[in-house]
Amino acid sequence: MGQYASRNDAQELAMQQVYMEKAAFYVAELKRQLGRQPLCCVTTFGCQMNARDSEKLLGILTRIGYAATTEEKEADFVIYNTCTVRDNANQRVYGRLGFLNSMKRNKPHLKVALCGCMMQERSVIEKITKSYRFVDLIFGTHNIFKFAQLLVTMFENHEMIIDIWQETDQIVEELPVNRKYSYKSGINIMFGCNNFCSYCIVPYVRGRERSRDPKEIIQEIEHLVTDGVVEVMLLGQNVNSYGKNLEDPITFAKLLQEVEQIEGLRRIRFMTSHPKDLSDELIDVMKQSKKICRHLHLPVQAGSDRILQAMNRHYTKAQYLALVDKIRTAMPDIALTTDIIVGFPGETIKDVEETIDVVRKVQYDNAFTFIYSKRTGTPAAAMEDQVPEAVVHEGFDKLLKVVQETAKERAALLQGKVMEALVEEVNEQDASLMTGRLSNNMLVHFPASESLIGQLVQVSLDECHGFYYTGHIVK
């Protein structure tokens, strides 16, 4: 599924194409030695942006002659695209690296690469250079477009190659991309983040906010649609501030209106919205739209004003609730989801009660609840009153119960309705069923043929099973 992103830094692109040819030569040589096609395995940790980056990595790897496998054991090239938003993501990477080390002892030609957000942290690089000497290639989030060139350097050298940039203003697209799904795709509309929420490491590892030119975004989506895509997800850490720093500033709502015009495109999603920047214009555009899905992910993080302020979120509980009210008044059928952190420094059970109150009032369709993870270098890590584990767990368990109750209640409201679903894949448990996604992001399983994948069908939601439905196609 070769696909080209929009045109951009032409000179850099031409150079990378030369490196792809050169890398292909080394992979062909490996193929001759092995007597079979070399296999590569790309493992992704973290968010949608990393998932999109991984499609780019795989695009280059397949272009230079590797075949993709999801079986790490079989691979001749393994790359981890890492996340560092919470410490457990880092621990998973270290755990798996231990396993890769033993794999490499039995398979000396195996190449191991690491990239992504975790690699932008100096302490991580120190640890890997000291304790994981077998890693062949390390790069970060800013120079992923140089992947072909880095591969060539890796093939031509025997020591560990490390290339980490602190920042970049370059946006190089138009390199090969190997999409995971034929019918839907993520699109980066912006990179980085300027919000500096006090707990969050993303601004440090992804750099300052940079928006892509709207024309390039539209062109990329047009190409995707020609290639069979019916649903796009516009990606950015805070899509509501899209376009503010462009030479010709444009709002996110305007961009959405332009995307809406693309013929053949059926559904538009986006992630993530910061409540402080969500405009009336956006609500209005969503309301009028026939293609923008009835789902908004609106991270609240906490319900206590004191904690929200310490988090540097720039809104109060009352402002957030008023915003939700405005959204629900405009679009009563919209599904709202959120992210919540429990255990931020100084947070008491009373503060968590405020968060629970928000959940009760908003009635989220789903909420991702996280235990606060201390990230070195962020302001919150230096705060004195880190919360004892027992207190965190008490609050977390209480919150989770309410989140699950309200989500169940919300889900049950759709019983018996007929709604449009995008047929996505064969059901994992029962191959006679297909899994579809509703506009509000809920899943429904129904008997259908695999040939419907990528099509929009009308489904009757017959039985609610907590967070998903079973149903049948209505002719």
Site residues (CB under 6 A) for ligand SF4?
193, 195-197, 200, 202-203, 237-238, 274
List the interface residues with ligand SAH, window 319-348 (CB under 6 A): 339, 341
Altogether, the residues listed in the chain come to a count of 475
The reply on whether position 86 binds ligand SAH by CB under 6 A is: yes
Q: Which residue in the set 83, 171, 230, 285 belongs to the binding site for ligand F3S (CB under 6 A)?
A: 83
Distance, CA of 201 to CA of 86 (rounded, Å): 9
The reply on whether position 46 binds ligand F3S by CB under 6 A is: yes
β pairing state of 456-464 and 468-473: antiparallel
β pairing state of 335-342 and 295-297: parallel
**Among ligand SAH, ligand SF4, ligand F3S, none, residue 196 binds (CB under 5-8 Å by kind):** ligand SF4
Size of the site for ligand F3S (CB under 6 A): 11
Q: How far is the CB of 442 from ligand SAH (least distance, A)?
A: 21
Only segment of 25-33, 197-205, 259-267, 412-420 that touches ligand SAH (CB under 6 A)? 197-205
Q: How far is the CB of 341 from ligand SAH (least distance, A)?
A: 5
Beta-bridge partner residues of 80: 43, 114
Only segment of 46-54, 104-112, 358-366, 398-406 that touches ligand F3S (CB under 6 A)? 46-54
Please name which of 292, 208, 222, 304 lies closest in space to residue 252, comparing C-alpha atoms: 292
Only segment of 77-85, 281-289, 346-354, 372-380 that touches ligand F3S (CB under 6 A)? 77-85
**Among ligand F3S, ligand SF4, ligand SAH, none, residue 203 binds (CB under 5-8 Å by kind):** ligand SF4
Q: Which residue in the set 375, 410, 437, 445 belongs to the binding site for ligand SAH (CB under 6 A)?
A: 375
Question: What DSSP state is assigned to residue 293?
Answer: -
Of residues 266 and 269, the one with the C-beta less far from ligand F3S: 269
The reply on whether position 20 binds ligand SAH by CB under 6 A is: no
The helix, strand and coil proportions of the chain, stated in percent and rounded to the nearest 5, come to 40, 20, 35
Beta-bridge partner residues of 3: 177
Of residues 46 and 176, the one with the C-beta less far from ligand SF4: 46
**Among ligand SAH, ligand SF4, ligand F3S, none, residue 117 binds (CB under 5-8 Å by kind):** ligand F3S
The reply on whether position 205 binds ligand F3S by CB under 6 A is: yes
Distance, CA of 215 to CA of 418 (rounded, Å): 37
Q: How far is the CB of 459 from ligand SAH (least distance, A)?
A: 30
Distance, CA of 3 to CA of 176 (rounded, Å): 6
Only segment of 18-26, 27-35, 128-136, 368-376 that touches ligand SAH (CB under 6 A)? 368-376
β pairing state of 418-426 and 210-211: unpaired
Only segment of 60-68, 83-91, 242-250, 371-379 that touches ligand F3S (CB under 6 A)? 83-91
Three-state DSSP class for residue 24: helix
- Residue whose token pair is 């968010």: 47
The phi and psi torsions of 228 (rounded to 5 degrees) equal 105, 0
Cα 475 to Cα 331, 386, 451: the distances in Å are 27, 57, 16
The reply on whether position 206 binds ligand F3S by CB under 6 A is: yes
Distance, CA of 433 to CA of 447 (rounded, Å): 4
The one-letter amino acid at 344:
F
Distance, CA of 268 to CA of 242 (rounded, Å): 16
Of residues 57 and 230, the one with the C-beta less far from ligand F3S: 57
Surface-to-core class of residue 53, CB atoms within 10 Å of its CB (0-12 exposed, 13-18 middle, 19+ buried)? buried
State the residues that interact with ligand F3S by CB under 6 A. Answer: 46-47, 49-50, 83-85, 117, 202, 205-206
State the residues that interact with ligand SAH by CB under 6 A. Answer: 85-86, 199-200, 202, 237-238, 272, 274, 299, 301, 339, 341, 370, 372-373, 375
